[in-house]
Chains A and B, each alone.
Chain A
């Protein structure tokens, strides 16, 4: 086909390179589509569905949808944003997300998305699940209460660190993050503080010990600007910056 490599996003033209997904092309063109489990350095996962858009009348995850000439993509509409709000609400109701005591507060992608989408309440009945923490490792704390099953740590540990420290186990409601050791404890793995898996958690599950609140609340990543502005500033995000993680980068 000799059509120009352009699709429509909310009525405006977005150019794309062959092989780009809709979200990659949109971010490169300075157009923000809310997303959570998508990370530019990893193969798209398509699980959180926050980046859902309406394409030619059907909903699709824009992180897995290949850009094609002539697509008519709707993203920033009240209908789609309401769906995104509901997804974020369900994530908050499903885990134990107690922001006032979380070291990730202010640097958390889930929280920042909630702010930006105007989520005022989880709305649903809270699950209050029982998920004990794993503090076995001398330098790293695992707080499973906040896990949203995005698999970014699983992907980072396998694809970059070549260690496969993390995995998901179970299905449906019983799906949960596990540590790949016979004891099930992080202390019995070869995870290191310098691992990619340490950087990618969008929420407060994988935390470095003994740095709690060194960076004060109010001076954190999403304090000056909302996530929508920051995601655009970071885009297009080339995979060259080894060790650079948009979700957990510390400012200053």
Chain B
């Protein structure tokens, strides 16, 4: 038999940041030189790293950030439609996180406070360009909008946690973080 290893297909991975700060993506890049062995196993589809604008059929989708506006909902659904496995990464994707701290406030009050009543904004205007996605009344974690297969908590999760999780998953093991890697802060 000839070596079948050569033909092993790389897993296709898409990533995006919704109502997040890209901190989880930065932490992902913090796996540093381990990116090289990882790139033997995966290739990127839509991601800030490739600048591909829309997600095609993928094995794994990794989504950072919660859902705070209409565009976030569309992107998340595109990921869910195309990815066999969807992973919520970071506090915002898992719990709503920092953006969700506005959830006990009225959205109109928030916008007025930022764009109208703040000092020096007497000619202020709430942005209404049709290109801007409409904010949602409340910020939601991903699992309140689509089915999410795995969660990696943390703000951000450490590079070691991301590495452990992805290598477990790619090897076909149930990902398990354990003490020191599972963090909510």
State the A residues within 8 Å of B (CB): 92, 96-102, 105-106, 111, 114-116, 118, 120-123, 125-126, 128-131, 217, 223, 225-226
Contacts and interface: CB of A to CB of B under 8 A. Distances in A.
Interface stretch (B28-36, B41-49, B68-76, B96-104): B96-104
A106 B185 contact: yes
22 contacts: A98-B91, A98-B95, A98-B101, A100-B91, A105-B185, A106-B185, A114-B184, A115-B179, A115-B183, A118-B176, A118-B177, A118-B182, A120-B94, A120-B151, A120-B152, A120-B182, A121-B88, A123-B143, A126-B140, A126-B144, A128-B100, A131-B104
A100 B104 contact: no
B103 A105 contact: no
Contacts of A131: 104
9 tightest A-B CB contacts, nearest first: A99-B184, A130-B104, A100-B155, A128-B103, A121-B151, A120-B151, A99-B185, A105-B185, A226-B179
Secondary structure of the A contact surface, majority rule: loop
Greatest chain B CB density within 10 A among A102, A118, A121, A131 is at: A121
A42 to B, nearest CB: 27
Contacts, number: 76
Q: Which of A97, A102, A115 has the most CB of B within 10 A?
A: A115
Nearest to B102: A128
B151 A99 contact: no
A128 B88 CA distance: 19
A216 to B, nearest CB: 12
B88 A102 contact: no
A245 B152 CA distance: 31
B110 to A, nearest CB: 14
Interface in B99-126: 100-101, 103-104
Nearest to B141: A126
A100 B183 CA distance: 10
B12 interface: no
B164 interface: no
Most B Cβ at <10 Å: residue of A101, A106, A126, A131: A126
B150 interface: yes
A101 to B, nearest CB: 8
Given A100-B91, A226-B179, A121 B185 contact: no
B65 interface: no
Contacts of A106: 185
